[in-house]
């Protein structure tokens, strides 16, 4: 099995003091795109994720989300690409049974999927409007035989 290169998170731990934020550099952006475009497989991840990306480029998950909120940066496009690929992997591997249904179902909720059953008590066309039934009781005849 070929040896994969040392992730940036390991390289950076040797250079940076704990808790010191990384700089938003072209090297970081390239590494992020590399992860999103298949590097997650080489990293050993079953699906691409923000947590996996953060580890591979040596930053915290929160920093990924902070950078994605900055409209001037392309990081939000990277996170959207990761989310789309994650959704695709979950659907495909969930359908063919590679992933367990429980984990797949839980992770797909982050992509808007649910297994709710919605029941309507009324309908837009009125077809489910309750029908009123009136019961009329006839008076009993006098019983003179008794």
pLDDT at 127 over 60: yes
Q: Is residue 69 part of a domain?
A: yes
- Hey, CA dihedral for 125, 128, 132, 135, is it positive or negative? positive
This prediction has a pTM of 0.66
Question: Per the structure, how many domains does the chain have?
Answer: 1
Instruction: Give a yes or no: residue 139 inside a domain.
Output: no
The two tokens of residue 48 are: 């691409």
Residue 20: predicted pLDDT:
53
What would the two tokens of residue 16 be? 């940076």
- The answer to whether residue 15 scores a pLDDT higher than 50 is no
pLDDT tens-digit readout, 44-72: 999 999 999 999 999 999 999 999 998 77
Structural domain for 23, as ranges = 8-81
34, part of any domain: yes
- Measured CA to CA, the distance from residue 69 to residue 75 in angstroms comes to 8
Give pLDDT, residue 16. 45
Q: Could you tell me if residue 41 is inside a domain?
A: yes
- pLDDT tier at 117, thresholds 50, 70, 90: confident
Higher pLDDT, 98 or 12: 98
Query: What's the confidence (pLDDT) of residue 3?
Result: 59
**How high is the pLDDT of residue 146?**
52
Average the pLDDT over 21-27 and give the result.
Answer: 78
């Amino acid at each position: 099995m070929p040896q994969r290169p040392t992730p940036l998170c390991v390289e950076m731990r040797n250079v940076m003091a704990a808790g010191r934020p990384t700089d938003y550099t072209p090297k970081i952006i390239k590494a992020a795109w590399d992860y999103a475009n298949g590097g997650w497989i080489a990293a050993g991840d079953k699906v691409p994720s923000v947590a996996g990306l953060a580890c591979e480029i040596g930053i915290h998950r929160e920093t990924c989300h902070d950078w994605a909120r900055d409209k001037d940066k392309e990081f939000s496009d990277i996170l959207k690409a990761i989310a789309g690929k994650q959704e695709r992997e979950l659907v495909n591997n969930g359908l063919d049974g590679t992933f367990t249904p429980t984990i797949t179902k839980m992770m797909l909720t982050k992509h808007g999927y649910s297994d709710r059953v919605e029941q309507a008590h009324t309908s837009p066309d009125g077809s489910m409007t309750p029908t009123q039934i009136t019961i009329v009781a006839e008076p009993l005849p006098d019983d003179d035989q008794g």
